[in-house]
Amino acid sequence: MLIEDKIVRDFVKNEISFVTTVPCKQLAGVIEKIEDSKDIYHIPSNKEDEGMGLCAGAYLGGKRPAIIMQNTAIGVTINTLVTLTQFYRMPLPMLISYRGELGEPVACQVEMAVHTKALLNQLNIPTYHFHKEGDVEELDKILQYTFMCNKPVAILTDATFWKGY
């Protein structure tokens, strides 16, 4: 089974039915599968904080949301994560492309990569790092955990996990 299929399968298994995405080359395959899934309403957003607003609304409406974005988005969304998602205690799985790691061809991506885990740590956001293909087996449990504790949870997926970018 392709990694992309496993991810979407676990989303659906955990009743995630509302997914917003901001594109990344590394995540292109999974975004395509989300778009094709008949169980998921896919709503692309123009900026990640907007996407988190959409997800908050979907959660208020009784749906389980998720956001797919790049790690650069952590810089964009700190205020939203703190004053909306965390302040109102809402669950939000964040499937994040961890750009700027081994195999990265674009130097500028490294500038945000070196801050990514420190920022997530500072925000007290539970963070998981998928580096090897087998790490995806933990996704189901991470999603269960997210909706158990009503917190934003970060799943960083790097270039080695995706087998090149």
Partner 1 sequence: MIRSEILKELKPLLSDQLVVCNIGLPSQELHMIDDQPTNFYMLGTMGLASSIGLGLALSQKEKVIAIDGDGSVLTNLGTLPTIANNVADNFILLIIDNGSYGSTGDQPTYAGKKTSLTDVAKACGCENVVECRAENTLDVMKKALEGNQMTIIVCKCESGNVKVPVITMDPVVIRDRFMKEVISKNT
List residues binding partner 1 (CB under 8 A): 18, 41, 43-47, 49-63, 65, 79-80, 82-84, 87-90
Nearer to partner 1, 67 or 153 (CB): 67
Cα separations (Å) of 141 from 10, 26, 30, 39, 147? 9, 23, 19, 20, 10
Nearer to partner 1, 88 or 110 (CB): 88
Q: Could you tell me the smallest distance in angstroms from the CB atom of residue 162 to partner 1?
A: 27
Nearer to partner 1, 42 or 131 (CB): 42
Q: Which residues of 7-32 are buried (b: 16+ CB within 10 A; e: fewer)?
A: bbebbeebebbbbbbbebebbeebbe
Nearer to partner 1, 88 or 133 (CB): 88
Q: Could you tell me the smallest distance in angstroms from the CB atom of residue 68 to partner 1?
A: 15
71 contacts 116 by C-beta, under 8 angstroms: yes
Token couple for 61: 């409406």
Q: Could you tell me the smallest distance in angstroms from the CB atom of residue 65 to partner 1?
A: 7
Q: Could you tell me the smallest distance in angstroms from the CB atom of residue 70 to partner 1?
A: 16
